[in-house]
Amino acid sequence: MDATATLQRLVRQALTLDQPILPEGGGTKRFLRPITAGVQVVSTAEHQGILHYHPDELVIRVRAGTRLSDLHETLREAGQCLPCDPPSFGAASTVGGMVASGLAGPSRPYVGGVRDYVLGMTVILPSGDVATFGGDVMKNVAGYDISRLNVGAMGSLGLILDVALKVLPNPERVQAYRLACAAPVAQQQMLLQRRLPGLSACAYFNAGLLVRYQGSEQARPAFEKALAPGFEPVSGEDLDRVRDLAFDHKGHLWRWDGPVDAAVNDDLVAMDWGGALRWLAADQAIKAADDPGAITWFRQGEAPAPELGIRGDGVGLLQQRLKQTLDPKGAFIDYPALRPVL
Partner 1 sequence: MIADAVTKALRQIDDLELIEDPSRRKVYESDGLTAFAQMPPLVALPNSLQALQAVLRVCHTHHVPMVARGAGTGLSGGATPLANGLLIGLAKFNRILEIDPIKMTARVEPGVTNLAISKAVASTGLFYAPDPSSQIACTIGGNVAENSGGVHCLKYGLTLHNVCALKVMLADGEVLSLGGTGLWEDGLDLLALLHGSEGLLGLVIEVTVALRPMPEAVTVLMAGFADTASAAHAVSAVIQAGVLPAGLEMMDRLAIQAAEDFVHAGYPLEAQALLLCELDGGADEIDALSCKVQAVLQAAGAQSLVEASDAEARARLWLGRKAAFPAVGRIAPDYYCMDGTIPRRHLAAVLGAIAERSEHYRLPVANVFHAGDGNLHPLILYDANDTDQFQRAEAFGADVLEICLQFGGTITGEHGVGLEKIDQMCSQFSAVELTVFHAVKSAFDPAGLLNPGKAIPTLNRCAEFGAMHVHQGAEKHPELPRF
Quote the least distance from Cβ 201 to partner 1, whole Å: 14
Q: Which helix (H) or strand (E) holds 213?
A: strand 208-215
| CB hemisphere CA count around 149 (13 angstroms) | 17
Quote the least distance from Cβ 307 to partner 1, whole Å: 16
| Residue ranges in the chain assigned as alpha helix (H) | 4-16, 68-77, 95-101, 108-111, 146-150, 183-192, 220-226, 237-244, 314-326
Q: Count CB atoms within 10 A of the CB of residue 221.
A: 9
Cβ(28)–Cβ(69) below 8 Å: no
The smaller minimum CB distance to partner 1, of residues 304 and 314, is found at: 314
Question: Can you tell me whether residue 134 is helix, strand or coil?
Answer: strand
- What is the separation of C-alpha 151 from the centre of its chain, rounded to a whole number of angstroms? 9
Quote the least distance from Cβ 219 to partner 1, whole Å: 4
Quote the least distance from Cβ 30 to partner 1, whole Å: 18
Q: Which residues of 193-220 are buried (b: 16+ CB within 10 A; e: fewer)?
A: beebebbbbbbbbeebbbbbbbbeeeeb
Quote the least distance from Cβ 154 to partner 1, whole Å: 9
The smaller minimum CB distance to partner 1, of residues 28 and 156, is found at: 156
The smaller minimum CB distance to partner 1, of residues 226 and 234, is found at: 226
- What is the separation of C-alpha 167 from the centre of its chain, rounded to a whole number of angstroms? 16
The smaller minimum CB distance to partner 1, of residues 67 and 96, is found at: 96
The smaller minimum CB distance to partner 1, of residues 45 and 165, is found at: 165
The smaller minimum CB distance to partner 1, of residues 26 and 158, is found at: 158
Cβ(4)–Cβ(125) below 8 Å: no
Cβ(124)–Cβ(158) below 8 Å: yes
Please give the full DSSP string across 302-324, using - where no structure is assigned.
Answer: SSPPPPEE---SHHHHHHHHHHH
Which amino acid is located at 174 in the chain?
V
Biggest CA pair distance of the chain:
65
Quote the least distance from Cβ 119 to partner 1, whole Å: 10
The smaller minimum CB distance to partner 1, of residues 37 and 141, is found at: 141
The smaller minimum CB distance to partner 1, of residues 116 and 240, is found at: 116
Quote the least distance from Cβ 91 to partner 1, whole Å: 26
Q: Count CB atoms within 10 A of the CB of residue 6.
A: 13
Quote the least distance from Cβ 278 to partner 1, whole Å: 9
